[in-house]
Amino acid sequence: MILFTLNEKSMESVKGKGAIKKRLTKGPMGSIFFASTNLKKERLIQETKVKASELRPGMGVVYEGKLCICAKAVHVTPGNLRAFVQAKMRGVKDGVMFEKRLRSTEDIEQAFLDRREMQYLYSDAHGLVLMDTESFDQTTVPKEMVEDATKYLKPDTKINALLHDGNVVSIELPNVVELVVTETAPQPRGATATNQMKDATLETGLNTRVPPFIEVGEVVRISTENGEYLSKAK
């Protein structure tokens, strides 16, 4: 006998197929198991489980019965102690961010998310307005769902939107963005490129620190992970 596991959506694709329409049973975590008795070997395949050490930013998971998005996952190996993962997650329904310490080998249920290219149009009082680059349909994503993403986004920027059941639940920013400096002090006398940094405001309202030789109107490359200056754009 061979035993498989699928989610509810996958089950619809196998209903009615004589080769495997032997027995459908409910499994743990809402999984659907079905068995086919026409094969000799026995094996179990669980496609919805990942180890905590496999968590990555942007991954959808079901934690304590709630759909969440992994915002950050740091693998820690504290000397002779057991390794663990410090994970930061956001509940999709309530938008609340929380942190959990997980054993590296702990099983986590993965929620498979669709990735779709969208274009950021503008922000209003309700949130970020995105447009599907294929269908041209527009959708509004609440600002609390994407935290400080607007500080890295210019109108017409293309991003990847993460969808669950057809709804946008998160967005993926590019690792690096290029933004224009709109406000910064003139280069201090005696300052060099390496001995000090100065405050700067960028076109999206993001505040960061840049080298003293950077002037207003210049374009700089910024990390979306921490908002730090990387280099002057070419």
Residues 192 and 212 in one domain: yes
Residues 166 and 183 in one domain: no
Domain extent, residue 21, equals 2-45
**Beta strand residue intervals within 2-42, DSSP E:** 2-6, 23-26, 32-36
Residues 34 and 61 in one domain: no
Residues 166 and 184 in one domain: no
Q: What is the reported pLDDT for 48? A: 77
Torsion from C-alpha of 204, 222, 164, 138, nearest 10 degrees: 30
CATH of the domain at 82: 2.30.30.30
Residues 101 and 56 in one domain: yes
Residues 106 and 62 in one domain: yes
* Residue where the block lists tokens 């500080």: 151
Q: What is the reported pLDDT for 38? A: 38
Cα 137 from chain centroid? 22
Q: What is the reported pLDDT for 179? A: 95
Residues 54 and 107 in one domain: yes
Q: What is the reported pLDDT for 190? A: 63
Task: Please give the single-letter amino acid code of residue 147.
Answer: E
Residues 31 and 71 in one domain: no
**Residue in 105, 65, 99, 63 with CA at minimum distance from that of residue 84:** 105
Residues 11 and 57 in one domain: no
CA atoms within 13 A on the CB side of 119: 11
Q: What is the reported pLDDT for 2? A: 34
pTM: 0.60
Residues 69 and 105 in one domain: yes
Burial class (CB in 10 A: 0-12, 13-18, 19+), 231: exposed
pLDDT in tens, the chain (234 residues): 333 333 444 444 444 444 433 333 334 444 333 333 333 333 333 347 888 888 887 788 888 888 888 888 888 887 778 889 999 888 887 778 889 999 888 888 888 778 899 999 998 888 899 999 999 999 998 877 776 788 899 999 999 888 877 888 888 888 899 999 999 998 867 655 556 889 999 999 999 999 999 999 999 999 987 889 999 988
Number of domains in the chain: 4
CATH of the domain at 210: 2.40.50.140
Q: Could you say which of 150, 172, 194 is where a domain stops? A: 172
Residues 118 and 107 in one domain: no
Residues 196 and 180 in one domain: yes
